[in-house]
Amino acid sequence: MTVLKTKTSETTTPLDTLQSQMAIEMKAVNKMILDHMHSDVPLIPHLASYLIAAGGKRIRPLLTLAATQLFDGDMTRAHRLSACVEFIHTATLLHDDVVDDSDERRGKKSANVIFGNEASVLVGDFLFSRAFQLMVADGNLDILRILSNASAVIAEGEVLQLSVQNNLETTMEQYYAVIEGKTAALFAAACEVGPVIADKDESTIQALRDYGMNLGIAFQIADDVLDYSAERATMGKAVGDDFREGKMTVPIILAIEQATDEEKKFWTRTLGDKNQTEDDLATAQELINKYDTISKGLEIAHSYGEKAIKDLKQAAPDSPLRQIMIDLVEFTINRDH
């Protein structure tokens, strides 16, 4: 069984290290983000800055910066493309919250609650368009191809997730297709952009893409596991959103695969028929514990993490930055438990 590490407030995480390493670069990215959020229609910067000011880890733009610096690429181009990646991410968050009817994001009321679903949909579209304008301003067709393909794959992943929602027959294969689309595709593109900016060879570009893809898969599995974590609940953090929304994620899929007839009835009622009572989350967590599917999920995440590290080692010689990007993988899996 994988042991969960507990993060204390004094620990400097690899993400902290990357953030401080990239502080000056991120300042330029933030300026780019603010400049391109501007519109003569006041509701647009108003809504966009509400979400962007709420923070977030900025892991995707940090990956673009790191992947560019790792190969001595032009950081001015990386600033623009990091902003582009963050815009794509922000647009999907706005639309996700509408689709999931969420009421919280980054510890604040979500934008759809404050500004309405209508505004969230349309400002999401605006940010998405701005992302494309930023790519076009960069002017490299390979990068345009990478990021426009990623956008299409993200949307496909989101639609697939919606299609299998509340469906007990969902397979691990479908689950991987969902998370590769909705999460890992943008991680992969964010990383791939770096060696393309630096004009590296195909195999290096592919290796960085694979690093991002495997890191993204590990990241999303960890996220999905966290949503059922009892440790996390004792820390006062929200759990159970995925259960309430009927999202078919790894802890559930693996528990259903092994369920007794009695347990199948429970899953059918709570997920298939969307008929949940307040105690059901606790029962779901008991069944997840019974089959140890949190640990199994984390083991899968670790195996993707190992692949990501191997990809990165293959692509670039040892350096302090490469080490941070390696450490980031483990941190991504063990965060927040």
Residues that bind a copy of itself (CB under 8 A): 39-44, 92, 95, 98-99, 117-119, 121-126, 128-130, 132-133, 135-136, 139, 141, 144-145, 148-149, 151-152, 154-156, 158-160, 162-163, 177
The answer to whether the beta carbons of residues 144 and 136 sit under 8 Å apart is yes
Q: Which is nearer to a copy of itself, 53 or 159 (CB)?
A: 159
Q: How far is the CB of 112 from a copy of itself (least distance, A)?
A: 11
Q: Which is nearer to a copy of itself, 177 or 230 (CB)?
A: 177
CA distance 122 to 137: 23
CA distance 37 to 94: 14
For the packed helices 202-226 and 185-197, what is the interaxial angle rounded to 10 degrees?
150
Q: What are phi and psi of 173, to 5 degrees?
A: -60, -45
Helix (H) or strand (E) holding 105: strand 104-105
Strand, coil or helix: 104: strand
Q: Which is nearer to a copy of itself, 112 or 293 (CB)?
A: 112
Q: Which is nearer to a copy of itself, 126 or 175 (CB)?
A: 126
Q: Which is nearer to a copy of itself, 43 or 238 (CB)?
A: 43
Q: How far is the CB of 330 from a copy of itself (least distance, A)?
A: 32
Q: Which is nearer to a copy of itself, 41 or 235 (CB)?
A: 41
The answer to whether the beta carbons of residues 253 and 284 sit under 8 Å apart is no
Q: Which is nearer to a copy of itself, 124 or 212 (CB)?
A: 124
Q: How far is the CB of 175 from a copy of itself (least distance, A)?
A: 14
Beta bridge partners of 104: 109
Q: How far is the CB of 107 from a copy of itself (least distance, A)?
A: 24
Q: Which is nearer to a copy of itself, 136 or 282 (CB)?
A: 136
Helix (H) or strand (E) holding 109: strand 108-109
Q: How far is the CB of 285 from a copy of itself (least distance, A)?
A: 27
CA distance 145 to 6: 40
Q: How far is the CB of 160 from a copy of itself (least distance, A)?
A: 5
Q: How far is the CB of 287 from a copy of itself (least distance, A)?
A: 27
Tokens at 309, concatenated: 């590290």
Q: Which is nearer to a copy of itself, 107 or 139 (CB)?
A: 139
Q: What is the DSSP-derived secondary structure letter of residue 272?
A: I
How many CA atoms does the CB half-sphere of 187 hold within 13 Å? 24
* CB-count exposure of residue 77 (10 Å: 0-12, 13-18, 19+): buried
Q: How far is the CB of 1 from a copy of itself (least distance, A)?
A: 35
**Which positions ≥6 away from 81 have C-beta within 8 Å?**
64, 134, 135, 138, 143, 147, 193, 197
CA distance 311 to 203: 10
Q: How far is the CB of 13 from a copy of itself (least distance, A)?
A: 32
